[in-house]
């Protein structure tokens, strides 16, 4: 690397198949980084097969490459990754994977082959112990990367407990675009719909959606519940809504393109994230929280994981698992329009101060520069 040549960074990231996540990549490139981001053509999970969205692609190269064992979190890998590594010759390899994954081992191996420095990213906020070979691979990554990025302070604590002693920085993986996610324009002439409660995310048991249904069932007045997402827990939720007698108040919205989400938030009066901590999982960040706050939508969240840290004083936090707490918070927002306005404004201000793509990109590039220094 010469004095005036740009810093070449190769990022491996299945998360960046999501179009709105790519805005951060443009911001990184604008800070003088020659960026190549490698992604799979799609990623499979309990919601199905999510295809690559090409939305924000200016100033850097976004390249999809073949993937093996798509959907297997621990064992997926990329057969042509070595070819791309040798062709691009990066100074830094940004491994957007947990260190106990085969994709991380593969990326670190090729990074070392081409003489590049490397870092990994982690959301993991529970100290899990894995059997061999995953524990061996994890140990190898911790000992051979130059630095690490953590999504939250609790993730940083986990990796320190696991023996990671090298530099790390707490930088949320993705920010929110405040120009895309903006408050709904005020239209005093439009017909006011019923108070609309929203949930956005996977339909799985640990997200606590069943508690939201039970809390809403005790509300009085006109309200409706809009559930945006898909997942294996939907049939149980449909049956629960029938038993509670609220099925006619629910609206189910399946998969929505990431760039269409701003309009979805504009249909909501409040977003509720009632996540539950489990032995092997607790909420790691909650991107939909920052998107809703940026969109001027008040947020109610449980006390699980990182949710209270994201919301701060800009929303309502209730004890996880508490149906009564959820119902009381909903009643407060439904009955107090002034409170909704105050929290909407506070949420927007909090996102602008802490959770924009521009800030995440600047913090990430600062880590790159420190690695090369």
Does residue 192 register a pLDDT over 80? no
pTM, rounded to two decimals: 0.79
User: Model confidence over 313-372: pLDDT tens digits?
Assistant: 999 999 999 999 999 999 999 999 999 999 999 999 999 988 999 999 999 999 999 999
Q: Which residue has the higher pLDDT, 68 or 173?
A: 68
pLDDT of residue 279: 82
pLDDT for 30 equals 97
Q: Please state, in angstroms and rounded to a whole number, the distance separating the CA atoms of residues 172 and 291.
A: 14
Please provide the CATH number assigned to the domain covering 7-175+356-372. Answer: 3.40.50.2000
User: What number of other Cβ atoms are within 10 A of residue 229's Cβ?
Assistant: 21
CA distance 298 to 345: 9
Whether the bond between 118 and the residue before it is cis, its omega within 30 degrees of 0, is no
Q: What are phi and psi of 231, to 5 degrees?
A: 160, 175
Whether residue 3 has pLDDT greater than 80: no
Whether the pLDDT of residue 23 is over 70: the answer is yes
Residue 2, pLDDT score: 54
- The CA distances from residue 148 to 52, 97, 98, 312, in Å, are 26, 11, 10, 25
Mean pLDDT of the chain: 93
Instruction: Decide the pairing of beta strands 316-318 and 250-253.
Output: unpaired
User: Facing residues of 44 across strands?
Assistant: 49
CA distance 76 to 326: 39
- C-alpha 368/C-alpha 185 separation (Å) is 39
Please tell me the distance from the alpha carbon of residue 129 to that of residue 135, in angstroms, as a whole number: 7
In the predicted structure, residue 107 carries a pLDDT above the cut 60:
yes
Q: Which residues of 232-252 are buried (b: 16+ CB within 10 A; e: fewer)?
A: ebbeebeebbeebebeebbee
pLDDT in tens, 277-305: 988 778 877 789 999 999 999 999 999 98
Q: Do domains 7-175+356-372 and 195-354 have the same CATH topology?
A: yes
* Sequence-ordered list of residues with C-beta below 8 angstroms from that of 26, at least 6 positions apart, any chain: 56, 57, 58, 59, 60
39 has which bridge partners? 64
Is pLDDT of 190 > 60? no
Over residues 243-271, the mean pLDDT reads 92
Digit-coded pLDDT (tens) for 198-250: 999 999 999 999 999 999 999 999 999 999 998 899 999 999 999 999 999 99
Fold observed for domain 195-354: Rossmann fold (3.40.50)
Nearest Cα residue to 344 out of 174, 171, 181: 181
Ranges of each domain in the chain: 7-175+356-372, 195-354
Whether residue 154 has pLDDT greater than 90:
no
Res 5: pLDDT: 78
């Amino acid at each position: 690397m010469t004095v005036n040549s740009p810093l070449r960074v190769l990022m491996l990231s299945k998360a960046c198949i999501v179009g709105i996540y790519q805005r951060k990549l443009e911001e990184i490139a604008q800070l003088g980084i020659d960026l190549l981001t490698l992604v799979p053509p799609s990623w499979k999970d309990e919601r199905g097969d999510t295809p690559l969205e090409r939305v924000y692609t200016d100033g850097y190269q976004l390249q999809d490459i073949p993937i093996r064992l798509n959907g297997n979190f621990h064992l997926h890998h990329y057969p042509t990754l070595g070819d791309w590594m040798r062709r691009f010759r990066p100074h830094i390899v940004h491994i957007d994977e947990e260190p106990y994954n085969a994709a991380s081992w593969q990326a670190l191996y090729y990074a070392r082959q081409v003489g590049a420095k490397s870092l990994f990213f982690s959301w993991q906020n529970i100290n899990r112990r894995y059997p061999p070979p995953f524990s061996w691979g994890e140990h190898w990554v911790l000992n051979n990367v130059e630095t690490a990025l953590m999504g939250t302070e609790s993730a940083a604590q986990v990796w320190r407990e696991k023996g990671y002693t090298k530099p790390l920085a707490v930088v949320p993986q993705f920010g929110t675009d405040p120009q895309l996610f903006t408050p709904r324009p005020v239209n005093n002439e439009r017909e006011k719909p019923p108070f609309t409660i929203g949930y956005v995310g996977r339909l799985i048991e640990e997200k606590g959606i069943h508690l939201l249904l039970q809390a809403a069932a005790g509300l009085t007045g006109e309200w409706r519940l809009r559930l945006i997402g898909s997942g294996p827990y939907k049939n149980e939720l449909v049956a629960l809504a029938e038993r509670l007698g609220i099925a006619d108040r629910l609206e189910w919205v399946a998969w929505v393109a990431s760039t269409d989400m701003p309009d979805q938030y504009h249909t909501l009066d409040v977003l509720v994230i009632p996540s539950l901590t489990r032995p092997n999982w607790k909420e790691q960040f909650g991107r939909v929280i920052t998107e809703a706050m940026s969109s001027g939508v008040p947020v109610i969240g449980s006390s699980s994981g990182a949710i209270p840290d994201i919301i701060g004083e800009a929303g309502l936090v209730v004890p996880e698992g508490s149906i009564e707490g959820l119902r009381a918070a909903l009643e407060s927002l439904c009955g107090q329009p002034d409170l909704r306005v105050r929290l909407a404004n506070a949420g927007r201000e909090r996102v602008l101060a802490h959770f924009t793509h521009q800030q995440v990109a600047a913090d990430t590039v600062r880590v790159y520069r420190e690695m090369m220094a």
